[in-house]
Structure 1
Amino acid sequence: MPVPLSAETIRQAPKVLLHDHLDGGLRPSTIVDIAGRIGYRALPTTDVDELATWFRDASSSGSLERYLETFSHTVAVMQTVEGLRRVAREAVEDLAADGVVYAEIRWAPEQHTEGGLTLEQVVEAVLSGFREGEAAAAAAGQTIRVGAIATAMRHAARSLEIAELAVRYRDDGVVGFDIAGAEAGYPPTRHLDAFEYLRRENAHFTIHAGEAFGLPSIWEAIQWCGTDRLGHGVRIVDDITAGGKLGRLAQYVRDKRIPLEMCPSSNVQTGAANSIEEHPIGMLRRLQFRVTVNTDNRLMSQTSMTRELTLLAEAFHYTWADLQWFTVNAMKSAFIGFDERLAIINSVVKPGYARLTA
């Protein structure tokens, strides 16, 4: 008999995470500790529980811009090699404890140079933290593989520089590139030189699109910029009728199997979806889009992969087969080599779900 679905049993299932922001997943206790060490006094409170609540409440305004404001505090405590390594290590440990077996964690190196670090020092500190986290997880009997995604801020003008940085470190653990930040007024086509460079270098990239802005953002990301994946992509439903008829863009996205990095709780917080029960992921799963489930910012949403999958299972009456489908989708869409992806699917993901459904 299959093991009944619950938060506890879902935690035991192998999970794959493609869209998780390093500066959105800090432990509140770590923020308070590092802030005290470096003399950062702008935190709204130094009480760990109250700080966790503040992040959740400040992120639930329904405004993407307000949501993004919360990052001023997390980025402030990630301006030293020690701080970056610690945050990166703890992120991996937390994901491994939640049953994540493969993760791609993204962050914007350009936001961590205020204390005098070079971009190279920032990248090397984070990669070192990831490797330390993998080793700590292994010592605890947990297996996890982590890749880094170097992100450029779409309102800035450093995307080509960050793209070059990503390519420079791709043999050391940087598996891809991304642009992030407020979509309105900052279309992905502003960064065409970066995307053209990445394509010349045979490098992978994803683009935040279709979250706060609509179909034109998705169309530009795909047809002008050539993205491999869509960060969120929620608004692709604007090209699908209530009866499930697909428009030209939605049909293209589905036919080309372009992965959608969906983050249900975060999408509700920023107003991209009304509720978990009304989240477009339900329709998109039924229509067989390449949908993946992600956390986005674990601190701001007070979430984990276990929580996201549990919420979806409750809202849409999903079974273990559905959760395995999401997980295999994500692993197929990862930015590591085909052999590695296949090995994780066949030796980790499928056996892990088989134990829960036997």
Structure 2
Amino acid sequence: MENQTSDVEENKILPGTLIDSTEKIAQNLSSQRRRSVSYNQASLVELHIHLDGSFRHSTLFDLAQKKGLKLVNDMELTIENFLPYVCVKTVCTSLAEFLEKFPFFTPIVAGDVEALERVAYEFVEDQAIQGVLYTETRYSPHYLTADKLQPGEVIEAINCGLRRGMKEYDVDVRTILCCVRQNPEWSMEIVKLADQYRSAGVVAIDLAGDEHNYPIDPHIPAFKHAVELGIHRTIHAGETGSVESVRQAIELCHAERIGHGYTIVDDPLLYDYIRRNDIHIECCLTSSIQTNAIAKYIPVDSEKREKNFILNGQETKTRLHSHIRSKKEIWHPIHHFARDSLNFSLSCDDPSVSQITIEHEYEHALADLKLSPAQLAQCVFNAARSAFLTNTEKKLLVQRLVARYIPIGILQDHLHDTSI
């Protein structure tokens, strides 16, 4: 029985993954996607997911073939040879190494209006498959121009795909425009674009990139201007950088949410400030392992669980994501967050690069990190109340979630009682 369960898990269809390179299997995958959408009841909220880290492998491979992409050393362009260039292997030692994948696959989509619209549409479909009710996806429009488009044209192409997806699937999507640490010359324009496309679903700006080598200082004027314009702000900080990076994000750039933020457990004063001020922490469990962000918190007696990619029914050399299980009960920063009722949630970060889904993240939290079902449910509601929406929109989102988490009879009785 255990082997049968393992086989089912190993061959489980993952959104964004090309399970088999044949046309027949690709058609079956598409039909399964559409059937699963009709049966899944959306009940999740995801706030930290990069659009350019969510491109389907099948789509990237298809576009690579059409555009005549060449692999190094004239290696044959097969899906098995292609995947190591777009997925992180389990042996990954830093955020910098994690980010090395993007310069390879981003140009496959960048500067191509049709491709940008396609990946945006597919993003919405994949979120629907996974039972996501509301999501905020982020990207850098400058990285997707390829010197062929203007940043505004990138936004419009992506918005077109998102709108088409939202009409077809029951997912509400907003977007966040990313400033990039190594390109401060773009930041003020990002604020201008966020303001310009506010009515078209852009709800915030972000600051992403290498915390170690690129300081926050050059971006401060742009974030101050965002405050003046009433544009929401989230910042990647405390992922692999120091706890000081989180402090600067809050004090100098007025961040309302922090991407990752694991290092705050090292500073009791900042930790307490974040708790008392209800600042939301966007946690991404698998990527925190792959980028070595939580390496110092992992016990030496931990066990790593790894899987290889299955293609045409055969195990390949391409490693999938790894989960870590410890013999000790407490070891990950989110244990502290959960214990102290911090405002945090779970997201995928870059699911196609990490080879995961949001289901994997919740499974990892439940099975390996031993968070309770109640704590995981709290993550969903934390995300909903911390979304960059108007108060009215947030209230409606929470009401939709409540209807999915609480039996309808009990809910109706409660509403009847409170109306008396």
TM-score by length of 2: 0.76
For structure 1, which segment, 45-54 or 99-108, has the greater mean C-alpha deviation from structure 2 after superposition? 45-54
Instruction: State the distance in 2 between where 1:110 and 1:271 align.
Output: 27
- Counterparts of 1:169-208 in structure 2, within 5 Å, are 169-208=197-236
CA drift at 1:224: 1.1
Q: Is the 8 A contact 2:43 2:131 kept in 1?
A: yes
In the alignment, structure 1 residue 112 sits paired with structure 2 residue 141: no
The answer as to whether partners of 1:59 and 1:66 remain within 8 angstroms in 2 is no
Change (3 A) 1:88 1:59: farther
Query: 2:312 corresponds to which residue?
Result: none
Deviation at 1:51, TM superposition (A): 3.5
Q: Distance in 2 between matches of 1:38 and 1:202?
A: 42
Aligned to 1:219: 247
TM-aligned CA deviation for residue 318 of structure 1: 3.4
Alpha-carbon separation, structure 1, partners of 2:90 and 2:147 = 26
Secondary structure (helix, strand or coil) at the match of 1:148 reads strand
- The C-alpha deviation readout for 1:235-269, integer Å capped at 9, x for no partner, is 11111xxxxxxx21111011101000110000000
Aligned residue for 2:57? 28
Distance 2:100 2:332 in 1: 24
Q: Is the 8 A contact 2:70 2:77 kept in 1?
A: no
- Which consecutive residues of structure 2, in runs of 5 or more, have no partner in the other structure? 1-8, 13-39, 299-323, 326-330, 411-420
Residue 48 of structure 1 corresponds to 79
Cα distance in 2 for partners of 1:14, 1:270 equals: 28
Give the 3-state SS of the residue equivalent to 2:178 in structure 1.
strand
Identify the residue that residue 107 of structure 2 maps to in structure 1. 76
Q: What RMSD in Å do the two structures reach over aligned CA positions?
A: 2.2
> Of 124, 134, 144, which aligns to 2:171?
144
Q: Of the candidates 352, 363, 374, which is equivalent to residue 299 of structure 1?
A: 352
Query: What is the rounded CA distance, in whole Å, between the counterparts of 1:46 and 1:351 in structure 2?
Result: 48
Say whether residues 1:14 and 2:67 are aligned partners: no
| Aligned counterpart, 2:260 | 232
Summarize the Cα distance change of 1:46–1:27 in structure 2 as closer, same or farther, 3 Å threshold: farther
CA distance in 2, matches of 1:114, 1:331: 35
Contact kept, 8 Å, 1:42 with 1:73, in 2: the verdict is no
Report the 3-state secondary structure (helix = DSSP H, G, I; strand = E; otherwise coil) of the residue aligned with 1:86. Answer: helix
Query: Which residue is 2:404 aligned to?
Result: 352
1:187 alignment partner AA:
P
**Structure 1 residue aligned with 2:316:** none
Runs of 4+ in 1 over 6 A off after TM superposition: none
* Greater Rg over alpha carbons, structure: 2
CA distance in 2, matches of 1:319, 1:64: 29
Select the residue among 226, 244, 248 that pairs with 2:269.
248
Asked if structure 2 preserves the Cα contact closer than 8 Å seen for 1:189 and 1:225, the reply is no
CA apart distance, 1:47: 3.0
Aligned AA (1:321): A
Partner of 2:338: 285
Structure 1 alignment gaps of length 5 or more:
1-6, 138-142, 240-246
1 CA distance for matches of 2:101 and 2:265? Answer: 28
2:95 to 54, 58, 64: 64
Matches of 1:312 and 1:220 in 2, distance apart?
A: 29
Residue 154 of structure 1 is matched in structure 2 by 181
Q: Deviation at 1:14? A: 0.7
C-alpha separation in 2, matches of 1:355 and 1:50: 48
Q: Are the equivalent residues in 2 in contact too, given 1:59–1:270 (CA < 8 A)?
A: no
Secondary structure, aligned partner of 2:239 = coil
Name the CA shift for 1:45/1:311 in 2 (closer, same or farther; >3 Å). farther
CA contact (8 A) 2:284 2:346 kept: yes
Q: How far is 1:115 from its partner?
A: 4.5
CA distance in 2: counterparts of 1:163 and 1:198, whole angstroms = 6
* Number of corresponding residues: 337
Higher relative contact order (CA 8 A, sep 6+): 1
The 2-side partners of 1:343 and 1:95 are apart by: 19
CA separation in 1, counterparts of 2:159 and 2:243? 35
